[in-house]
Structure 1
Amino acid sequence: MTGYARASGAVPGAHFACELRSVNGRGLDIRTRLPPGFDALEAELRRLLATHLSRGSITFTLTVERDTNGGEVFLNRQALATVLDALRDLAGKVDAERPRLDGILALRGVLEQREAPLAPDAEATLSAAILQATADAIDSLQAARREEGGRIAATLLMRVEEIAALVARAETHPARSRHSIAARLRQQLALLGEDAAAIGEDRLAQEALLLATKADIREELDRLTAHIASARSLLESGGPVGRKLDFLAQEFNREANTICSKSNAVELTAIGLDLKAAIDQLREQVQNIE
C-alpha cells in the first residue's frame, strides 16, 4: 500500500501541485494539508480519495501559488508599532547603532504582500483544476500500488502453497490412525509394566477409539483446505483483497491452534507449529496490500 504520486497544473493567475503519499494501514486513514482559503474544497477531496482508495494511511498535500502581478503591499501598522516600542525600550540599554528604516521594514510581518484575488469564475476554475489533478495523482498512485501488489502477490502465493503442503502432511500423517494410537497405548502399557493381553483387545480398541475421537482433526483440516482455496481465488481475482485475506489469515491461525491443542503425537505438533509460522508470515505480508 506504499506509494507516492504528484500532479501539478495552472490556471490564469495561479499554479498548484497535488502530492499523495501512501503507507500501510489496516483501514483507510486520510490526512489533508491545504493552504488557507481552501477549506471548502476538503470535503470534495476526501470524497474523491475515499472513492478510489480503500486501505492505507493517505496524506494529501496541496500547494498553491498565486501570481503576484496586480497584488499590493500592505503596511502592518500594529506590527510596526510593536517594533518601534521595542526599539525605544532598548534605547540606552544596548550599545548599538539605531536601525535604518529599510531594516525595520524588512522585518517579517511589518510589510505584507497580498496576492491579487481571483475573480469568482477563476476561483471555480482553479478548484476544478485541483480536483482533476488530484484524480490524476490518484491514478498514478494506484498504478504504483498495483505494481507493488503484483510483487507481494507472488510472495503471498508461496506462503499459501507452503500452508497447503503442511496441511497435506498432516492429512496423511500415520499418527492420526486408530491403529497407530492403539500401538502407542501398548507401548505405554509395556513401559508401565502392564500386560496388554490381560487388559483385553476390546478394551484397548475402545480406549484407542476414544483417544482418536478426541484427537481427530478432520474438521480442522477440511476448513484449512477450504481457506486455502479461498486464498488462491482471492489472489487470482485481483482488486482490493487485503481485508479479506487478513480475515482468512485469522481463520488459518485459529485452525492451526486447534490442531496443536488436539495433537496426539510430537510430529503432528511440529506440523502445527510450522503451520503457525507460515501463517504469521502470510499475515505480515497481507498488511502490505490494499
Structure 2
Amino acid sequence: MTGYASAQHGSSAEAGEASSRNVRLGLEIRSVNSRFLDLTFRLPDELRAQEPALRTLLTARLKRGKVEVRAAIDQDASASLPQPSPALLQRMVSLQDQVQAWLPDAKGLSVADALRLCGQGQSSAVDWSEIAPALAEQAVGELIAAREREGKRLAQMLLDRTKQLRTLAGQAGPLVPQLVEQQRQRFLERWQEAMGLTEGQVTPEAAQDRALSEATAFAIRIDVAEEITRLSSHLDEVDRLIKKGGEIGKRLDFLIQEMHREANTLGSKSAALELTRISVDMKVLIEQMREQVQNIE
C-alpha cells in the first residue's frame, strides 16, 4: 500500500564547558505498492550504525510494500557556529606551539580551523542510538495509520465491484433458458422443413425427438450455471475476507484468478451477444480488482 509519514526530533548537544547548539533529526518513511517488502535506507553517516535496528523495526511492523526511509540531521542557523571555551582554546594554542616547535614552517590555526575542530567535538556528543529508533517507531505508527485509511478505501472499492459482478451474474442466469428455447424452436423448424423435402419418409415423432435431442445437446454446451455458481461462491469469500480484515492480500489474489477463469469460461460458452457483453464487463471489473488487490497486505 502507499503511505507517507514523517517525524522530527530536536536535541541539544553541549560543547565543552560553554554553550550548546540545537540539532534536529528529521525522518521520513515512504511506501509504494509492491507484492513483497523491499526496504531502502538513505541515512547520513551519523546514523549508519542505526540501520540494522531500523530494518528490524520495519520488518516486524510491515509485510509488503517498497519502503524508503530518509533521514537528515539539521542544525539551527542561529547556532551554527560553536562557542569554544577558554580551556579548549588554550589547549589548541598549546598543541599548536608543540607542533611548530618541531615544524617551524607549519602554519598557525585559523579561526575557521578552530571552529571546525570545536564543531567536531559537538557532533559526536549526540547519542542517536535511542533517538533514531524511537523516532522511527513514531513514523512507522503514522505510516501504518495512513495505510489503514487507504485500506478502508480499497475495501469499499472492492465491495462495490463484487456488487456489480453479482448484478451481471444475475443477468446472465436467465439468458440461458431463453437461448435454449429459441434454439429448440429453430431445430423444430429445420426438421419440419427437412420432413417436407423427404415427402413423409421421416415421421413427425422422429423429427421432434431429433430436434429435442439437438436442443438438449445445445443446452448442455452453453450451460453456465456451474460457472455462475462458482463465481458467486468466490464473491462471497471475497466479501467475507474484506470484512474480516488482516493479512488477506495473497488469498484475495488467488480468488481474483479463479474469478477471472470463470468469467473466461462464461465468455467461451457464450451463444449470444448479450452473454458476451456480460463476460467482457465481468473481466473488466475483475481486472480492476486485481490491480488493487496487489496493494493489499
1:167-246 equivalences in 2 (<5 Å): 167-175=169-177, 178-186=180-188, 189=190, 194-195=194-195, 197=204, 200-246=207-253
**Cα RMSD after superposing both structures:** 3.5
Contact 2:227 2:266 in 1 (8 A): yes
Which residue does 1:9 correspond to in 2? 9
Which stretches in structure 2 are left out of the alignment for 5+ residues?
Answer: 14-22, 89-110, 197-203
- 2:248 aligned with 1:258, yes or no? no
Which residue does 2:164 correspond to in 1? 162
- The offset of 1:195, in angstroms, is 4.4
- CA distance in 2 between counterparts of 1:28 and 1:174 reads 46
Which residue does 1:115 correspond to in 2? 120
Contact 1:19 1:60 in 2 (8 A): yes
Once the two structures are superposed, residues 4-33 of structure 1 have per-residue CA deviations (whole angstroms, 9 ceiling, x without a partner) of 111122455354121111222232222111
Contact 1:174 1:180 in 2 (8 A): no
Which stretches in structure 1 are left out of the alignment for 5+ residues?
Answer: 73-104
AA at the equivalent of 1:36: D
- CA distance in 1 between counterparts of 2:70 and 2:2 reads 16
Moved more, 30-39 or 250-259: 30-39
- TM, length-normalised to structure 2: 0.72
- 2:37 aligned with 1:32, yes or no? no
- CA distance in 2 between counterparts of 1:176 and 1:250 reads 30
Which residue does 1:101 correspond to in 2? none
Q: In the superposition, relative to structure 1, how do residues 7 and 19 fare at CA in structure 2: closer, same or farther (>3 Å)?
A: same
- CA distance in 1 between counterparts of 2:11 and 2:83 reads 16
Contact 2:176 2:222 in 1 (8 A): no
Q: In the superposition, relative to structure 1, how do residues 260 and 15 fare at CA in structure 2: closer, same or farther (>3 Å)?
A: same
2:140 paired residue among 138, 141, 146: 138
- The offset of 1:247, in angstroms, is 2.6
- CA distance in 2 between counterparts of 1:15 and 1:184 reads 83
Identity %: 37
AA at the equivalent of 1:50: T
AA at the equivalent of 1:263: S
AA at the equivalent of 2:132: I
- CA distance in 2 between counterparts of 1:176 and 1:33 reads 64
Once the two structures are superposed, residues 147-187 of structure 1 have per-residue CA deviations (whole angstroms, 9 ceiling, x without a partner) of 22222322221111000111122222244775444234346
What secondary structure, in the 3-state scheme, does the structure 2 residue paired with 1:209 have?
helix
AA at the equivalent of 1:64: I
- The offset of 1:49, in angstroms, is 1.2
1:41 paired residue among 44, 50, 73: 50
2:64 paired residue among 51, 55, 74: 55
Once the two structures are superposed, residues 118-159 of structure 1 have per-residue CA deviations (whole angstroms, 9 ceiling, x without a partner) of 36xx63xx2222111111101111111222222232222111
Once the two structures are superposed, residues 213-262 of structure 1 have per-residue CA deviations (whole angstroms, 9 ceiling, x without a partner) of 22222321121111100111122122343333233222211110111011
- 2:62 aligned with 1:19, yes or no? no
Which residue does 1:75 correspond to in 2? none
AA at the equivalent of 1:170: A
What secondary structure, in the 3-state scheme, does the structure 2 residue paired with 1:115 have?
helix
How many residues in Structure 1 have an aligned counterpart in Structure 2? Answer: 252
- CA distance in 2 between counterparts of 1:57 and 1:184 reads 59
- CA distance in 1 between counterparts of 2:29 and 2:277 reads 46
